[in-house]
């Protein structure tokens, strides 16, 4: 027989488990137990061609724009881990350039403290600069760090 105490205990255990896993698993992707800082570092490291603070800041701004949008996961690792959205293996590949890792780490800390690239505005998308696509709904706002950033209409 299920008692009110047993039901409450089961609910509490489920809440603890969900809270424990929330940094690792999201509804949309897998953070692999990484924290927001590491996931953001990895996105900036692999997506900005490691060329400049500006390019990394622009990528970090897109990640945060997505976190703030209900259409995307509500945490950094969930956004970065979404399938087919960022570089393949972004959460698992080795980062082999110590200077670039340091730069990405520094810029990620700034982004997590609220710094944004103003040129990115509300853009939630980017692709490699120089590529062109025939879509009419892409409004480009910035080119930085080897990427072209755009909003969709």
The boundaries of the domain holding residue 43 are: 4-152
* pLDDT tier, 11 (very low <50, low <70, confident <90, very high otherwise): very low
Q: Where are the beta strands (DSSP E) in the chain?
A: 125-128, 138-144, 147-152
Model confidence pLDDT, tens digit, residues 39-81: 999 999 999 977 799 999 999 999 999 999 999 999 999 999 9
Q: What is the mean pLDDT of residues 130-139?
A: 94
Q: What is the pLDDT of residue 34?
A: 85
Structural domains counted in the chain: 1
When comparing pLDDT for 102 and 28, which is higher?
102
Distance from C-alpha of 27 to C-alpha of 120, rounded to nearest angstrom: 27
Query: What is the secondary structure of 53-116 as a DSSP string?
Result: HHHHHHHHHHHHHHHTSTTS-SSHHHHHTSTTTSSTTTTTS----HHHHHHHHHHHHHHHTT--
The percent of residues above 90 in pLDDT, for the chain, comes to 74
Do the beta carbons of residue 37 and residue 109 sit within 8 Å?
yes
Q: What is the pLDDT of residue 9?
A: 45
* pLDDT tier, 21 (very low <50, low <70, confident <90, very high otherwise): very low
Q: What is the pLDDT of residue 50?
A: 77
The CATH number of whichever domain residue 39 belongs to comes to 1.10.10.2520
Q: What is the pLDDT of residue 1?
A: 54
Model confidence pLDDT, tens digit, residues 84-115: 999 999 999 999 999 999 999 999 999 999 99
Name every residue whose Cβ is closer than 8 Å to that of residue 9 and which is 6 or more positions away in sequence.
Answer: none
Beta strand pairing status for 138-144 and 147-152? Answer: antiparallel
């Amino acid at each position: 027989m299920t008692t009110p105490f047993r039901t409450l205990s089961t609910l509490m255990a489920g809440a603890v488990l969900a809270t424990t896993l929330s940094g690792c698993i999201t509804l949309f992707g897998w953070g692999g137990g990484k924290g927001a800082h590491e996931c953001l570092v990895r996105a900036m490291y692999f997506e900005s061609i490691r060329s400049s603070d500006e390019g990394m800041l622009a990528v970090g701004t897109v990640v945060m724009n997505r976190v703030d949008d209900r259409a995307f996961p509500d945490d950094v690792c969930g956004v970065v881990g979404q399938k087919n959205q960022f570089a393949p293996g972004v959460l698992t590949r080795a980062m082999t350039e110590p200077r670039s890792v340091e730069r990405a780490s520094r810029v990620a800390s700034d982004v997590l403290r609220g710094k944004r690239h103003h040129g990115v505005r509300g853009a939630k998308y980017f692709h490699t600069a120089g590529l062109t696509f025939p879509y009419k709904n892409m409004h480009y706002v910035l080119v930085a760090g080897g990427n072209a950033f755009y909003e969709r209409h």
